[in-house]
Amino acid sequence: MNAPDPMSKYRVVGTRPVRPDGIDKVTGKAIYGPDFVAAGMIHGAILRSPHAHARIRSIDTSRAEALPGVKAVVTSADFPGQSAKIIAAGETSSSLRDIAATCLAHGKVLYVGHAAAAVAATTKAIAEAAAKLIVVDYEVLPHVIEVEDALAEGAPILHEHMITKGLDPAPDSPSNAANCLVMTRGDADAAMAGAAVIVSGHYRTVPVHQGYIEPHACVASWNADGQGQLWVSSQGHFDIRNQTASVLHIPSSDLRTYPLEIGGGFGGKTGIYLEPVAMLLSKKAGRPVRLAMSREDVFCGSGPAPGIVVDLTIGADADGTLKAIKAEFWYQVGAFCGSAVNSGMATLLGTYRIANAHLCGWDVVSNFPGTKAYRAPGAPQMAFALESCLDDLARKLDMDPLDLRLRNAVRPGDPGPHHVPHGAIGFVECLEAAKAHPHWTAPLGANQARGVAGAFWMNYGGPSTVSVALSGDGSVQVTTGSPDIGGSRASMAIMAAEVLQVPYERVRVAIADTASIGYSMVTGGSRVTFATGKAVVEAARKVEETLVTRAASLFGVAATDVEWRNGAAHCLTGESAGEHLTIGAIAAKAGQFSGPVSAEVSVNPLDYLPGFAVHICDTEVDPETGNVSIIRYTTVQDVGTAIHPDYVEGQMQGGAVQGIGWALNEAYVFDGNGRMENPGFLDYRMPVASDLPMIDTVMIEVPNPAHPYGVKGVGEAPIVPPLAAVANAVSRATGLPMRTLPLSPDRIWATIQAAK
Amino acid sequence: MSKIAVSTTVNGDPAEFLCDAGETLLDVLRGSLGLTGSKEGCASGDCGACTVMLNSQMVCSCLVLAVEAEGKSIATVEGVAEGSVLHPVQRQFLEHGALQCGFCTPGFIVAAKALLEVNPDPDETEIRYWLAGNLCRCTGYDKIVRAVSAAAAELRQDSKAQRSAA
């Protein structure tokens, strides 16, 4: 797997070495969120709401407190009062009030599973028994789940202070619409009136969960002097620390936060749920406290991704050139306002050339857990609508669906979703590669059909801090603040080894706690290999500069007369011309002689480039049962430069399969009381190995000129196309529109029957 | 409530523990025995992250009561490598990049090793169905299937070499 490519312009970039943390992870030694134990640690439990919407009249904790072994009980009364101040929260921002209320309900519970009170005791069993002894007096209120119900006249209002933002004039009464955003380009009405062909559809998806296998867990320790420690499994321990400190009204630097290994996040581990509650329990108990979720807690008390309702109309010329797009859409964001509307807009405007658009998006709250980021947050739902509608257009024009997309695909220099021109993007290259792939022309059997869909995702850069330090033996320590969810330690080591021109194995990577390195934003937004990678390269280059300076002094020449090559300083002039000093030789003289060699670099790059992908999916539909099998699947993606191709392919495959689950099976199913009926992996059916074929990957490398090695983000784009790629295949197999997800057997069977 | 004393063998060594009647084997492995390699993803037998061998039977340890392990032999992910020498399944997972977050990996390693012990030459479908009880959310399974297939080939070659040596 690790043979160097003689044609590559790089030594290490593009190879596939074993990840540095690999052995710990295949031998069971790696310590994840639920594995960490602090000395003297006790166990917490959370009492969660049985009601979808209720006012808390009172909470009686006396019986729980009286149970032997109980050390602390916490309710929202123990939280400091919260303002509506907006703070950064992972990839987005949120109000302190909403962040605190997500951790412990304040005044009202807003969904079944909403945390109402917590207890800590000497054993988990005692804590769980004590939680059941807490008596909450609820005044049950009517609830809403669906967008239409939440917006209906007289609907129960979740937040009495929520006045819809973005409307002029501002409404004078509260509603469940948090936000309305309108974007226009050109004149959509006039362009639509002049279009030769018009297609439209009403599309709907329901909430789905990120589905990471590791449930949330943390350990908190609050000392008597007000300083605390947190051990967390998260996508960004700096952001977890900042959010926790903010709602607890303590200085961030008083809360040293340690990253544990993280068992998947996909956006769902960028915010806080347990941490401040564990801190308050620890403060009262005087002991470290572990709080951990069960799988049911994860489904009912964290995530999910929003559902969507979309009305979409597209107008085109007879040759397939897109003329205008009109859309109104509603994200179903759960109990607290979200911010996926912007990303929905970007999906509609960033993928294809469309000069005329009128888009109106709404954020609508209702009584299920507040939604969180899920891999390209907001985009897969919208791409489902857009790419399905485009397929209808292709059929109407009797045009090859890839040709239709090629005709309209954005190219470098075209305006991006926010008018900034697209840079060195490779969407056309992806579409052409898809067309040339043998999959596109392979024969199909009975009841089989092929679907295709494209994707755009913005990606991100943002703040990261890295240090690179040379050890006395010439080995290299890279330290970052970016949790490694999918092999990023390997990518960081590769980039440092590339700069210093040393073997990969001479570089080791650690992820440091909040007291040991400067701020780094969450691992999310496809940003780490790009932004943290930039910091690694910059810091490694500074180390190289120091090494050259030290060598120059030893050679007795100017630094400009020394060249760094093959992991050694080569003297170009003077008495020592032709001699060289290896990194190890310089390092041996560093420490006590000329001083340690290290560099810390903080970056905040915003010259990231978006990701584009094209997926091809073959499905077979069983007309008797409505069951869909995925027969063949190919992903094509512009990945910039693949630093470690195995982990780039892994992102493409993993994203595709999450999207396949979203398309076919996954759904929050609510009963009439707003209770999730399927809060377990048996009934919330994520794809298993036997559901799937191999997932073919084609990496298109159009480098980002703003990154030293051309990196673009790769993690999110691959979940954007599968919903439509699957639905388009099923539509073509059945000859029927498939505009509501998931495409479960019962829905497809019913659609087939209704058409008969 | 008084505790129950249980005597077992864990990864070849005698192991005794005290447990409550309601505790699962997974609770005891992760708790009093300190073997946190087996993970709890669901506690309902649906994700396979807690997969261990109990008297050579593949089980979800979250579905086994700790007291049921009395007198039995348990093999966990911690016992798959021999000392510092990785099992071919572990090595091929690393070589193929068949893990991303790694949380499901211990369950897959134990399950894949069990497959290759009963079927040294599984085809793709056999691998996929054997591993259908193990959820992975990161990889889409492609590289896992390849890694297991490569480990099978490596083991077949090993046993062939052993046979010709004998």
Per residue in A618-641, pLDDT tens? 999 999 999 999 999 999 999 999
pLDDT value at A288 more than 60? yes
Q: What is the CA radius of gyration of chain B?
A: 16
Task: Assign A2 a pLDDT band (cuts: 50, 70, 90).
Answer: very low
Q: Is A146 near chain B, with CB under 8 Å?
A: no
- Global pTM value: 0.97
Query: ipTM strictly over 0.95?
Result: yes
**CA gap A6, A209 in Å, rounded:** 43
Q: Would you state the structure tokens that stand for residue A326, as one six-digit string?
A: 């009109």
Packing angle of the helix pair A275-285, A96-103 (nearest 10 deg): 70
Per residue in A234-246, pLDDT tens? 999 999 999 999 9
Q: What is the mean pLDDT of residues A424-441?
A: 98
Calculate ∠ Cα A216-A222-A224, nearest 5°: 170
Calculate ∠ Cα A387-A635-A8, nearest 5°: 135
Rounded to a whole number of angstroms, the distance from the CA of A559 to the nearest CA of chain B is: 41
List the single best residue of A16, A21, A25, A266 to mutate versus B (max B Cβ within 10 A): A25
For chain B, give percent helix, strand, coil, nearest 5.
45, 15, 40
Phi, then psi, of A464 in degrees rounded to 5: -150, 150
Task: Assign B1 a pLDDT band (cuts: 50, 70, 90).
Answer: low
pLDDT value at B108 more than 70? yes
Q: What is the mean pLDDT of residues A82-97?
A: 83
Per residue in A670-685, pLDDT tens? 999 999 999 999 999 9
Per residue in A194-246, pLDDT tens? 999 999 999 999 999 999 999 999 999 999 899 999 999 999 999 999 999 99
If you count DSSP H runs as helices and E runs as strands, how many of each does chain A have, helices first? 20, 28
**Closest chain B residue to A685 measured between Cα atoms?**
B46
When CB atoms are compared, the residue of B41, B78, B95 closest to A214 is B41
Task: Assign A3 a pLDDT band (cuts: 50, 70, 90).
Answer: low
Domain B88-161, CATH 1.10.150.120 — does that match? Answer: yes
Domains of chain A, CATH where assigned: 425-454+609-755 (3.30.365.10), 461-603 (3.30.365.10)
Is residue B60 helix, strand or coil? strand
**CA gap A33, A20 in Å, rounded:** 20
3-state secondary structure string, B90-102?
Answer: HHHHHHCCCCCCC
**Closest chain B residue to A687 measured between Cα atoms?**
B135
| CB atoms closer than 10 angstroms to residue A209 | 26
Distance of CA B57 to the CA centre of its chain: 10
Strand partners, B109: none
Domain B4-79, CATH 3.10.20.30 — does that match? Answer: yes
| Residue length of chain A | 756
Number of A/B CB contacts below 8 angstroms equals 188
Per residue in A107-123, pLDDT tens? 999 999 999 999 999 99
Which range, of A91-105, A482-496, B3-17, averages the lowest pLDDT? A91-105
> What residues contact A367, with CB distance under 8 A and at least 6 apart?
A52, A53, A110, A111, A112, A143, A144, A145, A158, A335, A674
CA atoms within 13 A on the CB side of A360: 10
Nearest CA among A538, A561, A424, A525 for reference residue A492: A538
**CA gap A475, A500 in Å, rounded:** 11
Where are chain B's structural domains? Answer: 4-79, 88-161
Q: Would you state the structure tokens that stand for residue B151, as one six-digit string?
A: 């480990």
pLDDT value at A570 more than 80? yes
Nearest CA among B38, B31, B2 for reference residue B15: B31
**CA gap A34, A44 in Å, rounded:** 12
Residue contact B37–A486, C-beta within 8 A = no
Token pair 């990577």 in the structure block, residue: A509
> What residues contact A754, with CB distance under 8 A and at least 6 apart?
none
Residue contact B94–A646, C-beta within 8 A = no
